Amino acid sequence: MKKRMLFFFTNCYRKWFGGKYFFSFNRFLYTLSLHGLGLLNHENGKVSGEDEFVKWFIRNRHDINGVIFDVGANRGDYARLIRHHKSAAELFCFEPHPINFKILEELSFELNFIPVMQGMGDKAGRLIIYDYASRNGSQHASIYKDVIEEIHKSKSHGTEVEITTIDEFVARNKISGISLLKIDTEGNELNVLKGARSCLLNNLINIVHFEFNEMNVVSKTFFRDILNELKGFEIYRLLPDGMVKLGEYNAVFFEIFAFQNIVAINKNSIAAETTS
């Protein structure tokens, strides 16, 4: 019945509004719909849904099931949010950029977290991270030069940084579980997850929070690539008042290269029980 109704209304809409005259109008509706679907809402944590997600995470006591990893911590905004909502969980903040790390390290004394001057990837080593030549130490720093030069239309400056993997760090520090893995690495999210394969396979990670956006065009990462690393996880998109399950993969609704906050919840974790 639903399919027949959709087919009927689709045909009617195409007939009346599908021509060239309405192209700009349809583009306007499409943009509005993206905002309503949880995309392009980047102005602040309230409209992006990030605030509501962290409140849900801590309100349901998920923060007591392991440590929190903030990968791509920048200057500590996510750490502030975690502590603002009264979580006392052990928090590791990873930031490879020396300028941002210095600020992060100073903040760690106030907010009681462990700053780590390393980035995360699919293997340990050293890489170049690119930032604005005129404003080195921004939140857009990325291992992909085109993030700065093509997307943000600016000259870039490269800095060599140290990279490790989540699996290596967890093993070396004898960490038994990660309650929340937050990743904000400007296009490098897939490699971070590849570096956590052992943890993911052994159900050591309960929740993953990451962004998917136009940076993934630069890194040539499809949403499906990320889903392949997150087998056994339910996928949600954040809205201002909570999160909505995306359901079965459909390229039309998943492969949208625009800012969005995504949460993946391990089906085998306690967290999965509080989303229904």
Tens of pLDDT, residues 171-215: 999 999 999 999 999 999 999 999 999 999 999 999 999 999 999
What is the DSSP code (8-state) at residue 66? S
**Averaged over 219-245, what is the pLDDT?**
97
Residue 2 confidence (pLDDT): 77
User: How open is the CA angle 67-205-200, to the nearest 5 degrees?
Assistant: 145
> Is residue 250 over pLDDT 90?
yes
Half-sphere exposure of 31 (CA within 13 A, CB side): 5
CB of 190 within 8 A of CB of 229? yes
pLDDT of residue 276: 56
Give dist(CA 114, CA 69) in Å, integer. 10
Question: HSE of 208 in the Cβ direction (CA atoms, 13 Å)?
Answer: 29
Cβ-Cβ contacts under 8 Å for 201 (sequence gap 6 or more): none
Burial class, 22, CB count within 10 angstroms (exposed 0-12 / middle 13-18 / buried 19+): middle
SS3 259: coil
* CB of 138 closer than 8 Å to CB of 132: yes
The domain segmentation of the chain, as residue ranges, is: 44-123+166-274
Q: In the CATH hierarchy, which top-level class contains the domain 44-123+166-274?
A: alpha beta
